[in-house]
Structure 1
């Protein structure tokens, strides 16, 4: 059946428009999928930003970037699978803004494949996704962070608490805002409605992209205030070295 459908409606890569016949997933060709820009050490021990210096130029794997030293984030650690540009950025945009829901599972598999490398030996109790406001959910039709968290939950056998954290205030898109505006935009936007689900636990916050960190920092602040013992952040992508975070 798949071969017949491919003949009638030949699949094309959402990145380069090459044929995806024979590719592992029908939306991205093998070449583009293999060219996802994975993040590799050295990186900031706390926020996960990759350093421009070669590994031998970093004195310790616990080294933190200048921003984390001068303005420590509320979360304990943040890690991302890849850099937010090129192939990975394009795939995420297609998932979010062209509503290609089928990309959730293969993208969640990227989170799964890098999970042990990023979070061993930390014992994580629960996954919580960065929530959408109901108005944004109505516009977009699906919550991509929650979908990623649920797929990852099944893969790593860690419960996902879908309703523990909510977005109680509608906010404008963070795109185009500077660092201060982003912080102000999300201030007071989140609330914990099920504190019993996270109190005293190690919480891993799941989202698609870490840009400046304003959203995940605010979520972390709210989770810690509600009793979370530890909060880490895990995203598909993040901005590279030299970008504000």
Structure 2
């Protein structure tokens, strides 16, 4: 019975073969889920300790960071789930970098004043640290694709916070080169947005951009090296698709912005009206 609960608590109660389940799935399913949570605690991806999911969810319901907390409460204990830094003002109006000083309004940072770049603005859900960093790394490098759903919900909440209806026409995940895609087996940027409940006015185009050549990982490179490494690495795979459109680029992490700039350059050359950037984290 315990094995049945553990395996099927998230499935339709009818599939459990429980008498009368067809008539009252709304009663059976929550009961089985509660039994499974009590009998089979999860292991935190952060501290590796066992915890009960219901306790983590209850704590995050009252948190100021509840969007991320609820999204990650099934995978991190109540202590670890709160150990991340939400992006908040004051920040750079363009690149989204959070200023060390926590006083004053949003404004352009010195780098964006000197070199405005190609994308219009970038925003992120949180800093690339703590629980959020662990979750992104687990998805990206350890193949924990089940994290794409909660992280995608967090990213969607961030999108709805910063962009109003009618602000965006096309959503484009940053692509991987085919070699890296074959090695990894998935594009994490695509997984993050594929389940978004978009209206008919906003279209997600999974192959709007193409990575024309493989590039070494950007990790460990400085700003100039990243810009050189990624130069001319992207192009449009659907010429003319972005003409006159407002495009939102989506990726997991924004560091120096070199990848976002390269993608935006390709889209603007194709005729895009504007390119914005949204990521889970800002490094």
Normalising to structure 2: TM-score of the pair? 0.77
The answer to whether 1:29 aligns with 2:77 is yes
Deviation at 1:164, TM superposition (A): 1.1
Query: What is the distance in 2 between the residues matched to 1:120 and 1:51?
Result: 25
Rounded to whole Å, the distance in 1 between the matches of 2:147 and 2:207 is: 23
Structure 2 equivalent of residue 242 of structure 1: none
Structure 2 unaligned blocks of 5 or more: 7-34, 58-72
Poorly superposed stretches of 4+, deviation over 4 Å: 3-8
Partner of 2:142: 98
Give the distance between the partners of 1:54 and 1:36, measured in 2 at CA.
Answer: 17
Match of 1:86 among 130, 143, 146: 130
Distance in 2 of aligned mates of 1:106 and 1:31: 18
Counterpart for residue 12 of structure 1: 43
In the TM superposition, 1:228-243 aligns within 5 A as 228-239=272-283
Q: Given that residues 161 and 197 in structure 1 are in contact (C-alpha distance below 8 angstroms), is that contact kept between their aligned partners in structure 2?
A: no
- Contact residue 12 and residue 28 of structure 1 kept, 8 A: yes
Provide the secondary structure at the position in 1 that maps to 2:193.
helix
Higher relative contact order (CA 8 A, sep 6+): 1
- 8 Å CA contact retained: 1:74, 1:221: yes
Q: Does 1:46 align with 2:90?
A: no
Alignment partners' CA distance in 1, 2:164 and 2:84:
23
User: Partner residue of 1:135?
Assistant: 179
Are 1:201 and 2:245 matched, yes or no? yes
> Aligned-pair distance for 1:53?
1.9
What pairs with 1:110-121 in structure 2 (closer than 5 Å)? 110-120=154-164
Q: Which structure is larger by alpha-carbon Rg, 1 or 2?
A: 2
Whether the 8 Å contact between 1:112 and 1:155 is mirrored in structure 2 is no
Q: Which moved more, 1:136-145 or 1:19-28?
A: 19-28
TM-score (norm: length of structure 1) = 0.88
> Helix, strand or coil for the counterpart of 1:195?
coil
- Deviation at 1:121? 6.7
> Which of 186, 195, 199 is equivalent to 1:151?
195
For residues 113 and 136 of structure 2, the distance between their equivalents in structure 1, rounded to whole angstroms, comes to 30
- Equivalent pairs, count: 233
Aligned to 1:70: 114
Superposition CA RMSD, Å: 2.0
Distance in 2 separating the partners of 1:89 and 1:162: 24
